[in-house]
Amino acid sequence: MAVTYDDFVAAFPEFSDATVYPQSQFDFWEAQAYLQLNAGRFGPSLDLAVMLFVAHNLVLSAQAKKSAQSGGGVVTTSSSLVASKAVDKVSVSYDTTTTTIAGAGLWNATVYGQRLYALIRAFGAGLLYVPNKRFAIP
């Protein structure tokens, strides 16, 4: 079953602002998700994986758009988790190790990517049995 824009917004209402997250971008990333995610591996959780993939990429696109608008029309930064920030005499630092998944790379850039990566690992973990015909019982 293909995820529709309405299904996606119902599951993730934080993406309901069509000016920030236009349906055309949803359509693009939804098509990419079905091309890049293995339906056989995810089974009935494929639509959830697709929605997380789309959400992750929509957030990255919105961040890039915001960067381009503040940087004179050019994407000036790529963002990730902030470990420390200081403004004048005030500073803040976060322990990013508690919210970062080792080996997840860019998937760590959004909470949706982290959730998708955890799902990928869950469906990719465990034993995969491939029968050997040489030892098959006739």
pLDDT digits (tens, 9 = 90+) for 49-105: 999 999 999 999 998 888 777 666 555 445 545 556 677 677 766 545 545 667 777
pLDDT digits (tens, 9 = 90+) for 2-51: 899 999 999 999 999 999 999 999 999 999 999 999 888 899 999 999 99
> What total of structural domains would you count in the chain?
1
Does the predicted TM-score (pTM) go above 0.75?
no
Residue of 133, 111, 135 lying closest to 56 (CA atoms): 111
Which structure tokens are listed for 102?
């080792």
Residue count of the chain, please give it.
Answer: 138
Biggest distance spanned by C-alpha atoms of the chain = 77
By CB atoms closer than 10 A (0-12, 13-18, 19+), residue 118 is middle
What domain range includes position 30?
Answer: 5-93+100-135
Which structure tokens are listed for 60?
């990255």
